[in-house]
Structure 1
Amino acid sequence: MADSSPSRSTVSKNALLLLRVLTVVFLLIALILIAIASVTDDTGTKIKFSDFYTYRYMISTIIIGFVYNLLQMGFSIFTVVSGNRVLSGDGGYLFDFFGDKIISYLLISGSAAGFGLTVELSRGSPSNSFTDKASASASLLLIGFMFTAIASTFTSFALPKKTDN
């Protein structure tokens, strides 16, 4: 009787594509939330994310992670549909692995920075829509990090096995 179950590489290619799609979705929502976050203080001054270097850093990490994962999502779709890799050879696997590592570290640093500033801004004052949106954005960025870190694990499995002579 023939085995009709999908091959292990097909499952991992589909899982990697799913991780890329989820990362893009969560980063897009995080980007929208931090971009629309604003509040008017007691003096009538409108405060927005661009008034804080930390939130500008956070939005930069979101954009860089979004663009990278969008590119990788395109590569994954091509691989799933055609069965061939866009970047063939050892260089393609290394690009995937190190790219995922670097981007995941960037995403976690943006999330940590966003959480840190949000906690400091909330200290001593009641929660407001600005800090709530910033906190939600940092949370979604953290989830995006987790998906990229998991994708990094999948890409590490695909690294070519080499033996030293």
Structure 2
Amino acid sequence: MRMKFEIELYEDMMGKPFCLDTYFNCRMNILISQNGVEKEFCTSTFHSSILLDFAEGLINIYEQNQQLFVIEMYESTYEYTFTYFQKLVTITRYEGYNGETIEMMKCRFDDFVEAFVKEYERYHKAILKKDSCAFKNEDYCIKRDQINILKNHVNGVI
């Protein structure tokens, strides 16, 4: 399994110096590849908030604080529910507009988290390349801490 975050920059950002706060508000598409097939998993603006919530939910499952968590997408009526049971994660999408619920995927929890952490870390490092002062941003530092916690869980250190 592979995961990829695609960030869509707003037109007014083109040709201007990188600004972390503005960048964090951009639209993000999360793509997932399984068995050679890539598909769009979710899309949202304010992607920084989505990633922080996503990682927090995964950490809480590892720390057995919860068995499920919900993430609401911005600028859409989609709501994603992540349910953990017997080493599997089931992800369902609820469409608030028409009330439809669709099972997006079911896979091994550890495989899903490993793919997420790899991409989260790649994304985190790419930001630092664009802005060497990124560590002054609180959200950036929280992301670093989340990556370290999740990596430790994936590697069995915690």
In the superposition, the TM-score normalised over structure 2's length comes to: 0.38
Higher normalized contact order (CA 8 Å, seq sep 6+, divided by chain length): 1
Q: Which structure has the bigger radius of gyration? A: 1
- Structure number with the higher helix fraction is 1
Tell me the TM-score normalized by structure 1: 0.37
